[in-house]
Amino acid sequence: MKSEGRVKDFVSEVYRHRTREVIWITENAWYVRDGDGNPIFIEGTIQDATDRITNLAFVERQANLDTLTGVASRFRFLRCLEEETLPGKTGCTLYSIDFDRFKEVNDLLGHATGDLVLKLLAKRLQSIVNEPSILARLGGDEFAILQPSLNSQSSIEAMAKKIIASLREPLRISGHDLTLGASVGISMFPSQATGAEDLLGNADFALFQAKAAGRNGFRIFDLELRSDIQHRKELEQDLRDAITGEQLELYYQPIVEGGTGVVQGYEALMRWNHPKRGFLPPSQFIPVAEDAGLMTDLGNWAIKRACQQAAILPPHIMIAVNVSPSQFRSASILVKLRRVLEETRLDPKRLILEITETAILTDEALAEKLLREIQALGVGIALDDFGTGFSSLSYLQRFPFNKVKIDRSFVAGIVDQPANLAVIRAVLGIGRDLGIKVVAEGVETKMQVDALLQEGCKLMQGYYYGKPKPYVEIVGDQSVAELSTLIPKAPDTKIRLVR
Contact 249, 306 (CB under 8 A): no
269 binds, among Ca ion, ligand C2E, none (CB under 5 to 8 A by kind): ligand C2E
Q: How far is the CB of 352 from ligand C2E (least distance, A)?
A: 12
Nearer to Ca ion, 204 or 385 (CB): 385
Task: State the binding string over 350-389 for Ca ion (x if CB under 5 A, else -).
Answer: ----x-----------------------------xx----
* Bond before 132 cis per omega within 30 degrees: yes
Using CB under 6 A, list all residues that contact ligand C2E.
253, 269-270, 281-283, 286, 299, 302, 322-324, 354, 384-385, 408, 442-444, 462-463, 468
- Which residues are bridge partners to 27 per DSSP? 10, 46
The whole-angstrom separation of Cα 140 and Cα 331 is 33
Bond prior to 170 in cis (omega within 30° of 0): no
- Residues 302-341 interacting with Ca ion (rule: CB under 5 A): 322
160 vs 404, which CB is nearer to Ca ion? Answer: 404
Q: Tell me whether residue 221 or residue 401 sits nearer to ligand C2E (CB atom).
A: 401
- Which spans in 85-152 are helix H? 102-109, 111-128
- What is the rounded CA–CA span in Å between residue 355 and residue 380? 11
The answer to whether the CB of 497 falls within 8 A of the CB of 472 is yes
As measured in angstroms, the least distance from the Cβ of 376 to ligand C2E is 22
List the single partner that 456 binds among ligand C2E, Ca ion, none, CB under 5 to 8 Å by kind: none
CB 318 within 8 A of CB 358: no
Which of ligand C2E, Ca ion, none lies near 463, with the C-beta cut-off 5 to 8 A by kind?
ligand C2E
Q: Mention every residue, 6+ apart, whose C-beta is less than 8 A from residue 405.
A: 354, 382, 383, 384, 385, 386, 438, 439, 440, 441, 461
The residues pairing with 469 across neighbouring beta strands, listed in sequence order, are 252
Q: 196 vs 439, which CB is nearer to Ca ion? A: 439
Selection from ligand C2E, Ca ion, none that 282 binds (CB < 5 to 8 A by kind) is: ligand C2E
8 A C-beta contact, residue 357 and residue 367: no
66 binds Ca ion (CB under 5 A): no
Q: Which does 420 bind (CB under 5 to 8 A by kind): ligand C2E, Ca ion, none?
A: none
Per DSSP, the three-state class of 326 is helix
Separation between Cα atoms, residue 397 and residue 393, nearest integer Å: 7
Query: How far apart are CB 322 and Ca ion at their closest, in Å?
Result: 5
Shortest distance (Å) from residue 90 CB to ligand C2E = 50
Name the residue nearer to ligand C2E (CB basis): 84 or 354. 354
Count of residues interacting with Ca ion (CB under 5 A) = 5
To the nearest whole angstrom, how small is the minimum distance from the Cβ of residue 381 to ligand C2E? Answer: 14
Decide whether 216 or 388 has the Cβ nearer to Ca ion.
Answer: 388
- Helix count and strand count (H, E) for the chain: 19, 20
Strands of 190-343, DSSP E: 218-220, 248-257, 263-274, 278-280, 318-322
**Which lies closer to ligand C2E via its Cβ, residue 188 or residue 294?**
294
Choose between 85 and 253: whose C-beta lies nearer to ligand C2E. Answer: 253
Contact (Cβ atoms closer than 8 angstroms) between residue 415 and residue 393: no
Q: Which does 299 bind (CB under 5 to 8 A by kind): ligand C2E, Ca ion, none?
A: ligand C2E
- Min CB(464)–ligand C2E separation in Å: 7
Partner from Ca ion, ligand C2E, none contacting 148, C-beta within 5 to 8 A by type: none
Q: Please give the residue ranges that form the binding site for Ca ion (CB under 5 A).
A: 322, 354, 384-385, 441
